[in-house]
Structure 1
Amino acid sequence: MQSTVPATGILDFFRNGFEHTAWRLETRREYDADQRTEEYQQFLQGVAPDNDEDSPWYSNTRTQTGQGKRIERVRLVDEPATDNQRYLLATTPGNLAAGEDIRYLYRSAAAAIGLEEEGDFWLFDSQVLAHFNWRDSDRRMELTTDPEQVLRACQVRDAAWHYAVRYEEFNRRVPSPM
C-alpha cells in the first residue's frame, strides 16, 4: 500500500494513525521547519527555548502516551553538534515531559553500525513506514506498507535503539546547548 497524508493532515494522522508505537529516526543536520521559527532565531541569540506545554504536538503526545502508546525517536548528532542539533537538545525536555522517549546517537557511531545513509523516517506499529516530502510544493507525508521497506526500517530501528543513549546521559556528555 502506498498513500500520502497532506501537510494539513499530519497532526490528525498522529492522533489516529497508530495503535501502539510511533518511532522516528532523525538524521538531518538541519531542519527547515525549525529554522523558520522565531524561537529558533532567538535560540541562536542565546535565548533558551520556551517549551510550550500547550502546543498541539505536546498535547497530542500526552494524550497518546496516556493511553499507553509509545512515541520514541533516535536523533543522530554530529561532533560538534550543529546549531539545529543543539536547539533540538534544548527543546527535548519538553518532549520528554509530554511522554516521548528520545535517545541520541553520534553520527560516527551510526556510521560504524551501517546507519549513516539511512534517511529520516517514522515507523508506525512496525507496519507503516512514513517519509516526509518537503521538497515539492504539495508538502506531505508519504506512507508505505511495502514489506521490504518496512523490514529494513524495523532493522534500523532496532540497531539505532540498541546503541543510542537516553537524553539525560547524552546531555551529560555534550557541552550545554546554550
Structure 2
Amino acid sequence: MRRNELLNSATFADLLADTHRSAVHLEMRDVYAVGDEADDFETFLRTGTPNLNPGRSFWPQWMPLVKDAVARGVVMRRARIVSEPVTDYIRYEHAITPLNLQAGEDVRWLPRRHASDIPLPGNDFWLLDGRVVQFHHFTGTGDWAADGKERTDDPAAAALCAAAFEAVWERGIPHEKYTVQAP
C-alpha cells in the first residue's frame, strides 16, 4: 500500500496516537451543522444554556483522545476565525469551549477583520507534528461534505497550514479573554 493510501485509511485517532509534538486545528466557518452536535445546539438555541456534560454528544470519544495526547507531551491548540457579531453557532461553540480546555486543548479566537492579510488555506484543517494535514470539507450549510476529509503529507501544504495557523494564533485572543458579541 502506498503512503497516501495508508494515510487515508487510518482513523484520526490513529493519526493522533502517532503524533508526538503538536496537533493544531484551524476553524474558519461561522456555521457548522454536523449531526453529532444538532441536539445540543438546538437546546442551546432554546435555552441559552450550553450542555457542559462531557458524557454527552461527541465528547466521550473526543476527550480521551486529547487527554492521552496531552499526557504524552503533545501540545494541542485550536484557533477559530470568526465574523463579528458572531452567529448563534459561534455563541454555542464559545459556550462549550470549556470542555475543549478541560480535555487539554488551548483555544484562541481571531475576529475575521484581523485575518485579512493572512494567507489561509481554503478549508479548515488539523496539522499533526507539522507534517500531516487533514483538511475538512463542508457543504454550504455546514454539514460534512461527501468527501468530508482529505489528508496529505505534502510538505508545501503542511508549510502553508503551519504558517497560517501560527499567524492566526499569534493574533488570536485566548478563550478566557474573548467575549462573544451577539447580533
Partner of 1:72: 77
Pair 1:119 & 2:127 matched = no
Does structure 1 conserve the Cα–Cα contact (< 8 Å) formed by 2:23 and 2:75?
yes
Does structure 2 conserve the Cα–Cα contact (< 8 Å) formed by 1:34 and 1:84?
no
Cα distance change of structure 1 residues 175 and 80 upon mapping to structure 2, 3 Å threshold = closer
SS in 2 for 1:45: helix
Does structure 2 conserve the Cα–Cα contact (< 8 Å) formed by 1:5 and 1:141?
no
Give RMSD over aligned pairs. 2.3
Partner of 2:175: 167
Q: Deviations over 1:112-159 (max 9, x none)?
A: x234664211100001111124322xx553211111111111110111
Does structure 2 conserve the Cα–Cα contact (< 8 Å) formed by 1:74 and 1:104?
yes
> Paired residues, what number?
169
Partner of 1:109: 114
2:132 alignment partner AA: V
Q: Deviations over 1:12-42 (max 9, x none)?
A: 2354241121101100111121685211100
TM-score, normalization: structure 1? 0.84
Cα distance change of structure 1 residues 36 and 95 upon mapping to structure 2, 3 Å threshold = closer
Does structure 2 conserve the Cα–Cα contact (< 8 Å) formed by 1:127 and 1:150?
yes
**Given the alignment, which residue of 80, 85, 93 partners 1:88?**
93
Q: Deviations over 1:23-78 (max 9, x none)?
A: 01100111121685211100011242222334111122122212221111110111
Partner of 1:62: 67
- The percentage of counterpart residues that share the same residue type is 28
Does structure 2 conserve the Cα–Cα contact (< 8 Å) formed by 1:5 and 1:140?
no
Pair 1:128 & 2:128 matched = no
Structure 2, gaps ≥5 residues long: 138-143
Structure 1, gaps ≥5 residues long: none
Partner of 1:41: 42
